[in-house]
Structure 1
Amino acid sequence: MAAVMEKLLLLAVMIGVSAASGRLLGGIEEAPVDDQVIQDAAQFALSEYNKASNDLYVSKISRIVSAKIQLVSGILYFLDVELGRTQCRRAVVDSLELCSFHTASGLARKERCRFTIRTIPWLQVTQLLKSQCQEVTT
């Protein structure tokens, strides 16, 4: 319930800021990548990504590159995220926080993903609308 209230408060603040700054409601705005709602949206996208992945190992976020937000009939989050393959196997992972990134040649893998997430806080709905990832070679 607290998460719903937090998102509704964010929505109200963004509407107020939008009105005060003369920006159009529905416009896409930059958002701070360290904001908790951005972090939550990124973790949701990661969870959905890992569920859909056929990889033997789970991935985790190494960095949120950028975040944008749009107020529509709910909130759209547009995230540009870097992921890395961890040493944790899908079947046995309890907490991603305990998983280290693979560093061994052949197992280390990095991806850059663009996620679009929609939340409708008053309906308690969160959906991953789009997931587009590309392997990063270093």
Structure 2
Amino acid sequence: MTSPATLFSSLLCVCTCAVSVSAAPIGTVLLPRPNAELVQEMAVYAAIYYNLRSTDEFAYKVTRVVDVQTTINRGVVYSMDVLLGRTHCPNGRTPNLESCALFSSPPEVQTLRCHFVVLNDLLDDQKRLLDSSCTATTQ
């Protein structure tokens, strides 16, 4: 179990690293930078779960976090809009999608705009995908 001091330090790091504020009471809504390391980590986590449920033969990877807001509660809830691009890598057989090239010509090129809600539960040291929806887009 995570100690209160560790939890406070983790929350403080999330706040200062992602959004440059020094304290955030429970229930506070924050607007971190989309390119912040923890935001990117949560987007990749959600994309992995998207691929696990996808029937597409090719895997998708994060190409851009469009928008994000966080809410501090038991952990940090990341509500974000993310663009996913279809890669050349077979779905379910590639451990590191960063090395996968995106398709560059039709009809294989596909971009999805997804809304993900991810809980980074600092008390249990776990991540959970709370909500997910994706639609095809032209970007």
TM interval, short-chain normalised: 0.7 to 0.9
Match of 1:17 in 2: 23
Listed as ranges, the matches of 1:40-59 within 5 Å are 40-59=41-60
Structure 1 runs (4+) deviating above 3 angstroms are 5-8, 13-16
Listed as ranges, the matches of 1:87-98 within 5 Å are 87-98=88-99
Match of 1:120 in 2: 121
Cα separation, 2, equivalents of 1:81 and 1:133: 9
Q: Deviations over 1:40-93 (max 9, x none)?
A: 111111111111111100000111111111011221001111011001111432
TM-score by length of 2: 0.81
- How big is the shift at 1:94? 3.4
Which ranges in structure 2 are unaligned for 5 or more consecutive residues? 16-20
Cα separation, 2, equivalents of 1:50 and 1:8: 33
Match of 2:107 in 1: 106
RMSD, matched Cα: 2.3
Distance 1:84 1:31, change over 3 A: same
- How big is the shift at 1:28? 1.9
More helix by share: 1
Cα separation, 1, equivalents of 2:8 and 2:39: 14
Q: Is the 8 A contact 2:7 2:123 kept in 1?
A: no
Count of aligned pairs: 129
Cα separation, 1, equivalents of 2:6 and 2:99: 27
Instruction: State the identity %.
Output: 25
Cα separation, 1, equivalents of 2:101 and 2:7: 31
Partner secondary structure for residue 115 of structure 2: strand
Cα separation, 1, equivalents of 2:10 and 2:90: 36
Which ranges in structure 1 are unaligned for 5 or more consecutive residues? 20-24
